Chain A
Amino acid sequence: AQKVTQAQTEISVVEKEDVTLDCVYETRDTTYYLFWYKQPPSGELVFLIRRNSFDEQNEISGRYSWNFQKSTSSFNFTITASQVVDSAVYFCALSELSSGGSNYKLTFGKGTLLTVNP
């Protein structure tokens, strides 16, 4: 079973539409961290947000907002009034303490390709 599932492979919207990218995760840990990264066509990975498992408060940053719900193991990402520059692959990632390890590696989902058309 995948630890991070991004069921939407591709989404296409028209500029100014709102769009929500889904992320469902699986973990047995009580302490874990969730992330969203953006990968624009240039290929780099850009950090967007980090949440820890004890903080279920939703967060808003400009046009971006995140909805973390432990009850459904979901950490969804909404872009309001999308713009062409939002076109990218968006990755959700889970960080949990690896068994026997001391590092919190990132486990990524397969990503969602968002295309915003003018």
Chain B
Amino acid sequence: EPEVTQTPSHQVTQMGQEVILRCVPISNHLYFYWYRQILGQKVEFLVSFYNNEISEKSEIFDDQFSVERPDGSNFTLKIRSTKLEDSAMYFCASSKRTGGHEQFFGPGTRLTVL
């Protein structure tokens, strides 16, 4: 069964460093998302992406964040200069269609900023 994959599973970085989180969505899906979950809290929407551009972004997704689909399979989230409060689990999701179709989530990348 196709699934969303994410790498790395855990990333440790120093404050101020840039990180790139990678995702490979399900191959015939067209809509891509990033969410984050601070430890013990709810899952929060960051950004949605369709047709090679951002569809919507949340207040969390400020200028330090960017997303890219550099080729036909990868979908990346870059944090330019990490802060302590960026420590969280980052989930990538994809869906075949919009209109409330189910989003399938990857296993997540745990980002720890020291």
Contact = CB atoms under 8 A, between A and B. Distances in A.
Contacts of A111: 42
Nearest to A35: B102
A103 B50 contact: yes
A56 B57 CA distance: 31
A44 B98 CA distance: 22
Contact of A108 (B43, B56, B98): B43
Interface in B2-23: none
A52 B100 CA distance: 8
A110 B37 CA distance: 10
B65 interface: no
A47 B43 contact: no
A45 B42 CA distance: 12
Interface of A: 31-33, 35, 37, 42-47, 50, 52, 91, 93, 95, 98, 101-111
A-B CB proximity, top 7 nearest = A33-B100, A45-B105, A103-B48, A103-B55, A101-B56, A108-B43, A110-B42
22 contacts: A32-B100, A43-B89, A43-B107, A44-B106, A47-B103, A50-B100, A50-B101, A91-B42, A93-B43, A101-B55, A101-B56, A102-B98, A103-B31, A103-B50, A104-B99, A104-B100, A105-B45, A106-B33, A106-B43, A106-B93, A108-B44, A109-B42
